[in-house]
Amino acid sequence: MSAPLIDPFQRAITYLRVSVTDRCDFRCVYCMSENMTFLPKKELLTLEELDRMCSTFVRMGVRKLRITGGEPLVRKGIMTFFQSMTRHLDSGALDELTLTTNGSQLEKYATDLYAAGVRRVNISLDTLDEARFAEVTRWGRLPQVLRGIDAAQAAGLRVKINTVALKGFNEDELFTLTEWCASRDMDLTFIEVMPMGDIGNESRIGQYWSLQDLRDQLRQRYTLTDLPERSGGPARYVRLEESGQKLGFITPLTHNFCESCNRVRLTCTGELYMCLGQEDMRDLRSPLRMSESDQPLEEAIRRAIAGKPKGHDFDYSRQQEGGKMSRHMSHTGG
């Protein structure tokens, strides 16, 4: 079982994103409906099962592990999982253990995360306006998140801000957000809104702001230089020459990133999604639980990777949510 994980299109799978819970303390309008029905806790993988699952992937060649949700830090006891993953960093089997979070719990956990070997966190933040923040998150409080960012930087964590580009909502904060991140030495990545799950009365067509338009607006003030670097994820980067700041763009609608995809996504119930934008998945919980040996799980993982598709079909070009997924982003992990 030492052969690397290679999909049918000769892409090496070295990056696993793990949703440890579908629950969240926010209800962002592009992610969830306000009155969500969450999975029964008994359906979730236990923390011990998450350890065994992730350790198997690491043994099979995964070098980067990103913990997502929902909001991962609301899961009870989650720091014991981070602490258990530290052994793979110490052994050199894992290059990086990272976290995507809404920042609400970072004031409490930032120091412990650093002690567990986490060095970078992505924090979702779409506005610096307190009233707008309450509107877009429905339940969120901006001061709590800002204190979390302060705590993360004080603990030594490198912070990257992820901002979903929302038409008619944060367009007028483009330069404010960019300059605020530059002043705090934080990278910033803009993301196009994706058609994932039922979000109630909200319209994603109305929310959709093309990042090509966003880049054109940036060029009115800055000189943008394309950078060749990749971080192991889907972002493409530019440098703003006037400040030296790095900006990322994740463009699943206007320019997909499938040709270099090196990642798969594991849900909190043990479903493996080979593509964020496809419904096809494989159940890994059953082979995990059927035997104390990891062999059935390893074989199931290889069968799943053999079915990884070439790419997704997200599309808003006809003013419809083409390629829409029925599951919420919080189920698969961002």
Q: Which residues are annotated as a binding site for S-adenosyl-L-methionine?
A: 30, 70, 124, 194
Report the binding-site residues for GTP.
17, 66, 100, 160, 263-265
What token pair was written down for 195?
A: 């058609």
Report the binding-site residues for [4Fe-4S] cluster.
24, 28, 31, 258, 261, 275
Contacts by 208-216, CB closer than 8 A, 24 or more apart: 208/167, 208/253, 208/316, 209/165, 209/166, 209/167, 209/171, 210/165, 210/253, 210/254, 211/165, 211/249, 211/250, 211/251, 211/254, 212/251, 212/254, 214/165, 214/174, 214/190, 214/249, 215/249
In contact, 16 and 62? CB cutoff 8 Å: yes
- CA-to-CA distance for 321 and 152, rounded, in angstroms? 36
How distant, in Å, are the alpha carbons of 133, 161, 193 from that of 130? 5, 17, 21
On the 0-12 / 13-18 / 19+ scale of CB atoms within 10 A, 313 is: middle
Length of the chain: 334
What is the distance between the terminal CA atoms of the chain, rounded to a whole angstrom?
29
Q: What are phi and psi of 174, to 5 degrees?
A: -55, -55
Report the binding-site residues.
17, 24, 28, 30-31, 66, 70, 100, 124, 160, 194, 258, 261, 263-265, 275
